[in-house]
């Protein structure tokens, strides 16, 4: 029996790279090189580049199928939070937001409780949420990988209600409101290598946890992305796993040739699965 059809998503996280002067041209170039309507494509530039990327994509016919995401949101709507950006401020600039990235957990000390608040703010602003989860090397070596990721999913999503049915049909027409990116933090900069089977096993843990939290279809309609330093040379192994629905791409997302290769492979996966973007 065929499983649920989930969209195939490639999201590029540009991190603290590019400026408003060059981000728009880069975004338009990537859009032209990755013109694959079967793949949901998202570019996440720095906050200061959101408008430039949005405008460049809107001005280029090839760019109109590419969506814009933010790399973070604040957990409050407004207030005395110097240098922070709230979810309502992103409306009109972005339609997606990354929440809980491993670098935010590491560098800003973000906890699951705080990330839960960010998920809620992004959801209330009707942004697509890419929630990042993943275990450290010591946790994996101690045999705690599944427990750690399960606890992260539970903590970040506990009590979070999905958007209304009306919003699901109108705002979230290309992908569900929630996507989860599995980051094998233990394999980033450690000399260790994550395999497709590792990501697939964790995708299973993620969806079982979503089911326990009461998500529709026991989490089987929630896309799970691989987020571990993926390149055009490594993406094939992960997309060959039926439970992996794309990638959250880091450094390679700044290189048009790399993005072209990743999205081309993702398009083959989407067509092979016969999946249409979720509605």
- The active-site residue out of 101, 103, 128, 146 is 101
Q: Decide if 110 is catalytic.
A: no
- The active-site residue out of 36, 103, 135, 183 is 183
- What single string gives the DSSP state of each residue in the chain? -------EEEEEE--S---HHHHHHHHHHHHHHT--TTEEEEEE--GGGHHHHHHHHHHSGGGGGEEEEES---SSSSSS-TT---HHHHBTTBSEEEES-HHHHHHH---HHHHHHHHHHHHHTT-EEEEEE---HHHHHTT-HHHHHHHHHHHHHTTPPPPPHHHHHHTSSSS-SEEEEE--GGGSSSS----HHHHHHHHHHHHHHHHHTT-GGGGTTS-EEE-SS--TTTHHHHHTSTT--EEEE-GGGG-HHHHHHHHHHHHHHHHHHT-----
Q: Decide if 75 is catalytic.
A: no
Active site residues: 101, 183
């Amino acid at each position: 029996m065929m499983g649920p059809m989930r969209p195939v998503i490639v999201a590029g996280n540009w991190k603290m790279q590019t400026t408003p002067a060059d981000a728009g041209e880069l975004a338009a170039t990537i859009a032209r090189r990755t013109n694959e309507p079967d793949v949901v494509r998202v570019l996440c530039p720095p906050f200061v580049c959101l408008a430039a990327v949005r405008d460049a994509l809107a001005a280029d016919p090839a760019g109109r199928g590419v969506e814009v995401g933010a790399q973070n949101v604040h957990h409050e709507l407004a207030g005395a939070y110097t240098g922070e950006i709230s979810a309502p401020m992103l409306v009109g600039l972005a339609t997606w937001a990354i929440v809980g990235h491993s670098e935010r957990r590491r560098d800003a000390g973000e906890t699951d409780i705080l990330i839960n608040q960010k998920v809620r703010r992004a959801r209330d602003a009707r942004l697509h949420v890419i929630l990042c989860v993943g275990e450290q090397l010591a946790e994996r070596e101690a045999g705690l990988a599944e427990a750690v990721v399960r606890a992260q999913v539970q903590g970040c999503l506990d009590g979070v209600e999905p958007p209304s049915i009306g919003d699901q049909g109108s705002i979230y027409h290309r992908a569900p409101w929630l996507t989860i990116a599995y980051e094998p933090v233990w394999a980033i900069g450690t000399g260790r290598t994550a395999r497709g089977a590792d990501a697939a096993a964790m995708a299973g843990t993620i969806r079982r946890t979503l089911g326990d939290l009461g998500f529709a279809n026991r989490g089987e309609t929630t896309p799970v992305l691989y987020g571990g330093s993926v390149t055009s040379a490594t993406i094939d192994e992960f997309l060959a796993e039926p439970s992996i629905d794309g990638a959250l791409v880091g450094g390679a997302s700044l290189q048009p040739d790399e993005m072209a290769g990743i999205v081309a492979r993702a398009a083959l996966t989407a067509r092979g699965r016969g999946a249409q973007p979720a509605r």
